[in-house]
């Protein structure tokens, strides 16, 4: 009786491992998962209040200002040039 239970547990664990390997191989072969931005960089972060935050982010050649609040959606504003982001980073360094 105990050998049957042990065998059933081993078969169940083997089935779970087989499903995990199948899902892993399927995920790795999906070409949509390979599209990432490798040059994503947070240039500056400023806490506006306890619940809101302002971030300057560089994504490749583009810069964005992202304002995040706890109870609302984020506002994303593209910046016109990288000079603005660099000036903000320099200003932040002067404050520290």
> pLDDT tens-digit profile of 45-57?
899 888 899 998 8
Rounded to an integer, what distance in angstroms lies between the CA atom of residue 65 and that of residue 81? 11
Name the residue ranges covered by the structural domains of the chain.
2-33, 37-95
**CA torsion, points 68, 69, 75, 79, in degrees to nearest 10?**
-40
Structure pTM?
Answer: 0.47
The residue ranges of the chain whose pLDDT is under 70 are 31-38, 81-96
pLDDT of residue 41: 86
């Amino acid at each position: 009786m105990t050998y049957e239970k042990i065998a059933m547990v081993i078969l169940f664990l083997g089935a779970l491992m087989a499903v995990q390997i199948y899902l892993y191989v399927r995920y790795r072969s999906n070409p949509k998962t390979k599209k990432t931005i490798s040059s994503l960089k947070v240039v500056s972060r400023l806490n506006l209040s306890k619940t809101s935050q302002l971030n300057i982010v560089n994504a490749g050649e583009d810069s964005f200002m992202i304002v995040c609040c706890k109870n609302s959606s984020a506002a994303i504003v593209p910046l016109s040039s990288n000079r603005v982001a660099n000036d903000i980073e320099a200003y932040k360094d002067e404050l520290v």
